[in-house]
């Protein structure tokens, strides 16, 4: 499997980039699926005066799991959240460079945020089901985004809950509150809720950090199964998890992408000294 | 005597002091309730709720006109005040840093501390004096002005309790900002907002001063908001300061009804907070 192809690939929309960037030739990374679904080009991000991301260039390959690892504060969550513009609620944030979804700038002026977030689903660190019934939790996204007719909802909800490997556990209590489930079930409910929007990309921000080992295993199996239909980017603190579920891994440190490549290769033969130090537990 | 025993005794002493403070705090409420029941309960009967007042000197009669009046005046005040208060509260909570929110918060705090009689005079100046007649509507406006700051602040506080993660979840699903506010955030806080609103209603239902200048009071059953109207607190005021013993009896009974209404509303507020869906963690 080819991991990363360094160097520039011809992009039809390159003219839309800032000239400096295009001239410098922002490295585009390609996975086996051809064009990356999400691509960062020299992406920078600051909270106030603090620059958290210092020029990240990375491609998230289609129908694969891309893991982002790195020590606390390295900017990996910031990067993930920048992909569906979740920072928008915070004051005084700035970005530079570009992030592309299917070749279109995510930060383009006039970009429809609702549509963007419909196409890029997100699962958070702590399970956060709405205080509504299990059914409504899953049905709300498609209802709001008018993706399904009311009479098709039961079928859609069942399909998403099955995909999230939760159906058998909740099929008899779909109208009970989602907040009454266990932590692991809640997280799978949140995944089902995200899937109901038929996203192209699923962002997962440490989805297992609040779960026990058994629930973690279930969610990991789920992630592995989901990549058949979805493109997944996952941030994790747990290196074994990255090694188990991902196809590609990026190692972030202090806001920079130190190394990015095939997961097996990165974990067995890291090219960079800092990567090796981190994955062998010498820091972080 | 060892130190542990001394500590235990000191602990018992402090707990005892706090218990005493609780008793002293609750005592006035019990005394008020007790007096009202003792003096007013005997006059409470079906006629009290369904009959109109009788001329002074006769016994019997009721305060139906005032019960209807209070319902109408407070109901209208709710129609005016609750949407404004809840909307203001949502705004302040969702855009906490904005200048408008800061000003609203400050003004609400000032208004919360404003004596209700001042609000009554305000409503008199702007509505009664310009229309040149007293009206129940002016009373409703005065009560609504009293409700708005209370409801604004409680709504804001309740919404601020909604975990940020819930908001993110909604946004990440492609909800727009206003939709997130209304369907997820407000819906989650609904029990709290209902409680705050009911408490505000309970508070203004007993207000007398603002109504003296506006609704004025009346001896007749009236459904016309443009005319003077009776209200329970006004009846208590009129009857209690009147010269007849029968009136005093009716005043006690009316006061009892008033406090029962407030009690029922407060209990309803308590029950409303026991929402079916609660966010855990």
Put simply, the answer to whether B176 touches A114 (Cβ < 8 Å) is yes
A209 interface with B at CB cutoff 8 Å: no
**What is the tens place of the pLDDT at every residue in A129-153?**
988 899 999 998 888 777 777 888 8
Whether A25 has a pLDDT exceeding 60, the answer reads no
From A23-37, A71-85, A169-183, B94-108, the region with the lowest mean pLDDT: A23-37
Residue A284: predicted pLDDT: 54
Rounded to an integer, the average pLDDT of B65-81 is: 91
Which of chain A's residues have a Cβ under 8 Å away from the Cβ of B171? 86, 88-89, 117
| Residues of chain B above pLDDT 70, percent | 96
Mutate to test the interface with A, among B94, B173, B189 (most CBs of A within 10 A): B173
- Give the lowest-confidence range in A77-81, A192-196, B168-172: B168-172
Q: Check whether A2 has a pLDDT greater than 60.
A: no
- Residue A19, pLDDT > 60, answer no
Residue B178's pLDDT is what? 83
pLDDT > 90: percent of chain B: 33
Touching check for B274 and chain A: CB below 8 Å? Answer: no
pLDDT of residue A31: 43
Q: What is the pLDDT of residue A22?
A: 34
Q: Average pLDDT of B231-254?
A: 88
What average pLDDT does this structure show over B20-49? 90
Give chain A's mean pLDDT.
83
Q: Do B277 and A131 touch (CB under 8 A)?
A: yes
Per CATH, domain A29-279 is 3.40.50.300: yes
B280 contacts A179? CB cut-off 8 A: yes
pLDDT at A48: 87
Written in H, E and C, the secondary structure of chain B is CCHHHHHHHHHHHHHHHHHHHHHHHHHHHHHHHHHHHHHHHHHCCHHHHHCCCCCCCCCCCCCHHHHHHHHHHHHHHHHHHHHHHHHHHHHHHHCCCCHHHHHHHHHHHHHHCCCHHHHHHHHHHHHHHHHCCCCHHHHHHHHHHHHHHHHHHHHHHHHHCCCHHHHHHHHHCCCCHHHHHHHHHHHHHHHHHHHHHHHHHHHHHCCCHHHHCCCECCCCCCCCCCCCECCHHHHHHHHHHCCCHHHHHHHHHHHHHHHHHHHHHHHHHHHHHCCCCCCCC
- What band does B275 get if pLDDT is binned at 50, 70 and 90? low
Tokens describing residue B76: 């209208």
Assess A90–B contact: CB distance below 8 Å, yes or no.
Answer: no
pLDDT in tens, A224-278: 888 888 999 999 988 889 999 999 999 999 889 999 999 999 999 888 888 888 8
pTM over 0.80: no
Which residues does B65 contact at the CB level (< 8 Å), separation at least 6? B52, B53, B218, B219, B220, B221, B222, B230
| Residue of chain A nearest B188, judged by CA positions | A131
Q: Is A263 on the interface with B (CB under 8 A)?
A: no
Model confidence at A203: pLDDT above 90: yes
Q: Is the pLDDT of residue B281 over 90?
A: no
- Asked if B170 is an interface residue toward chain A (Cβ–Cβ < 8 A), one would say yes
Indicate whether B276 pLDDT > 70.
no
pLDDT value of position A21? 34
Confidence category of residue B278, pLDDT binned at 50, 70, 90: very low
Judged by average pLDDT, the poorest of A26-35, A159-168, B191-200 is: A26-35
Flag whether pLDDT at B88 surpasses 90: yes
Stretch among A174-178, A192-196, B42-46, B229-233 having the lowest mean pLDDT: B42-46
Q: Do A122 and B172 touch (CB under 8 A)?
A: yes
What's the mean pLDDT in B243-267?
A: 87
| Of A17 and B173, the one with more pLDDT | B173
Residue of higher predicted confidence among B127 and B84: B84
Query: Which pLDDT belongs to residue B19?
Result: 96
| Cβ-defined contact of B277 to A193 (cutoff 8 Å) | no
Q: How far is A86 from chain B (nearest CA, A)?
A: 7
Q: For residue B262, what pLDDT is reported?
A: 85
- CATH (one of 3.10.20.30, 3.40.50.800, 3.40.50.2300, 1.10.3720.10) for B60-273: 1.10.3720.10
């Amino acid at each position: 499997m080819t991991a990363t192809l360094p160097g520039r690939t011809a992009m039809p929309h390159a003219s839309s980039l800032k000239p400096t960037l295009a001239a410098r030739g922002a490295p585009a990374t390609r996975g086996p699926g051809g064009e990356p679904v999400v691509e960062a080009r020299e992406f920078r991000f600051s909270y106030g005066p603090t620059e958290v991301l210092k020029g990240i260039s990375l491609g998230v390959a289609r129908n694969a799991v891309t893991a982002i690892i790195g020590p606390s504060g390295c900017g990996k969550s910031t990067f993930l959240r920048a992909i569906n513009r979740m920072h928008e609620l915070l004051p005084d944030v700035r970005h530079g460079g570009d992030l592309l979804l299917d070749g279109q700038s995510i930060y383009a002026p006039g970009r429809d945020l609702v549509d963007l977030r419909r196409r890029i689903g997100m699962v958070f660190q702590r399970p956060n089901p709405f205080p509504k019934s299990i059914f409504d939790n899953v049905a709300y996204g498609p209802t709001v985004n008018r993706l399904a007719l009311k009479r098709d909802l039961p079928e859609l909800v069942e399909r998403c809950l099955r995909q999230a490997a939760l159906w058998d556990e909740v099929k008899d209590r779909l109208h009970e509150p989602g907040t009454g489930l266990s932590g692991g079930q809640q997280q799978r409910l949140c995944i089902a809720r995200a899937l109901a929007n038929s996203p192209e990309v699923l962002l997962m921000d440490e989805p297992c950090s609040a779960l026990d080992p058994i629930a973690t295993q279930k969610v990991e199996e789920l992630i592995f199964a989901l990549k058949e239909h979805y493109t997944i980017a996952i941030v994790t603190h747990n290196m074994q998890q990255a090694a188990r579920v991902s196809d590609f891994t990026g190692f972030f440190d202090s806001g920079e992408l130190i190394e990015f490549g095939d997961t097996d290769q990165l974990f067995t033969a890291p090219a960079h000294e800092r990567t090796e130090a981190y994955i062998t537990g010498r820091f972080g | 005597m060892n130190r542990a025993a001394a500590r235990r005794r000191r602990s018992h002493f402090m707990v005892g002091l706090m218990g005493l403070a609780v008793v002293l705090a609750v005592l006035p409420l019990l005394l008020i309730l007790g007096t009202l029941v003792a003096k007013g309960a005997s006059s409470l009967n079906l006629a009290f709720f369904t009959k109109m007042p009788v001329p002074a000197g006769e016994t019997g009669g009721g305060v139906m006109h005032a019960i209807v009046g209070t319902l109408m005046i407070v109901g209208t005040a709710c129609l005016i005040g609750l949407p404004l208060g809840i909307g203001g509260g949502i705004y302040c909570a969702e855009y906490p840093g904005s200048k408008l929110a800061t000003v609203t918060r400050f003004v609400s705090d000032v208004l919360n501390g404003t004596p209700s009689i001042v609000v009554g005079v305000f409503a008199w100046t702007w509505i009664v004096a310009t229309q040149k007649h007293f009206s129940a509507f002016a009373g409703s406006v005065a009560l609504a002005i009293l409700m708005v700051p209370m409801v604004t602040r409680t709504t804001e506080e309740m919404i601020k309790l909604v975990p940020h993660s819930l908001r993110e979840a909604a946004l990440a699903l492609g909800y727009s900002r206003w939709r997130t506010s209304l369907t997820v955030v407000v819906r989650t806080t609904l029990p709290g907002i209902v409680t705050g609103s009911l408490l505000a209603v309970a508070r203004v239902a007993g207000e007398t001063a603002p109504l003296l200048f506006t609704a004025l009071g009346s001896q007749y059953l009236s459904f016309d908001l443009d005319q003077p109207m009776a209200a329970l607190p006004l009846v208590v005021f009129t009857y209690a300061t009147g010269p007849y013993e029968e009136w005093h009896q009716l005043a006690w009974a009316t006061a009892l009804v008033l406090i029962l209404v407030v009690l029922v509303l407060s209990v309803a507020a308590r029950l409303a907070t026991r929402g079916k869906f609660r966010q855990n963690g």
